[in-house]
Amino acid sequence: MIKVEHVVLDYGLGNANSVASCLRDIGCHVVTSNQAQQLKSAKVIYIPGVGSFNKAMEKLQQQGLVDVLNEIKLGGDTLIVGMCLGMQLFAESSDENTYTKGFGWIPGKVKHLSERVNAEHSLPHIGWNKLENNAEEKIFKFTSNDDNYYFDHSFYFDTHDEFICARTYYGDSFSAMVKLGNVVGFQFHPEKSQLAGKNLLIGLLNSYNIDRS
C-alpha cells in the first residue's frame, strides 16, 4: 500500500472525491481510503460528511473505523480535519433522529439550529456566509474578512468558547469552526467554497507545519 500523507476518509457517507479534488488543487498528494493501515500512516485525515449523525456513526462502527480513529487521535501525531457532518462527529453526542454518541474529542453537543434561529430564517441553512474569526489564529493568514464560505446544514455544534475559532451569523451567531489540539472542524464546506476554501486549507496546513506535497 502506498504511503500518502493526506488521506480523505471514504466511509460511504460523504463527498470524499470532492474533498480530494480540492486538496489536489492546492498541491496535496491525496488518496481516499477507509483502510486502517493507510489512515495510520497519514499526516492528515480529512473526514467529510453528508447526511445524519447517527447514520455516520453507524457506518464508522460497521467498518471498524471508530476504534482506529480514536487510536490515531490519541497518538497526537496526525491532524484530523472534519467538514460539515464530519466536524459534528467530534462532539460528545447528537440528538439528530435519535440520541447518538459521537467521538467526544471536543466537549459539546450537536443541536438543531431551530434552537438558535427564529422562524424568519429558513432551515436548513444553505448558502454563503462570512466568518467572524479570531484574527490571531494563523489558520486565517491567507483569507480575508470579506470571504464567503458555503454552508448546508440544519444542526450546529454547541461547544465552549475556548474551542471555537470562528463563528458565523444566520439569525444568531453559532460555531463555524472548532479546534482542540490535533482536531479541527469546519461546519461549512471548504471544498465547495472556491478560492476562500482553498486559502483556508492552505492556512490550516501551514499553521500545523504540514507539507502539501
Task: Report, as an integer, the average pLDDT of 182-211.
Answer: 97
* Residue 84 appears among annotated catalytic residues: yes
The predicted structure's pLDDT at residue 2: 58
Cβ atoms of residues 112 and 95 within 8 Å: yes
User: Other CB atoms closer than 10 Å to residue 113's CB: what's the count?
Assistant: 18
All cell numbers assigned to 56? 455516520
* Residue 136 appears among annotated catalytic residues: no
The predicted structure's pLDDT at residue 120: 79
Cβ atoms of residues 132 and 169 within 8 Å: yes
Which one of 6, 125, 153, 189 is the catalytic residue?
A: 189
**pLDDT tens track for 113-123:** 998 887 778 99
Which one of 22, 28, 84, 165 is the catalytic residue?
A: 84
Task: Report, as an integer, the average pLDDT of 104-130.
Answer: 92
* Residue 191 appears among annotated catalytic residues: yes
Residues in the chain: 213
Going by pLDDT thresholds of 50, 70 and 90, the confidence category of residue 1 is low
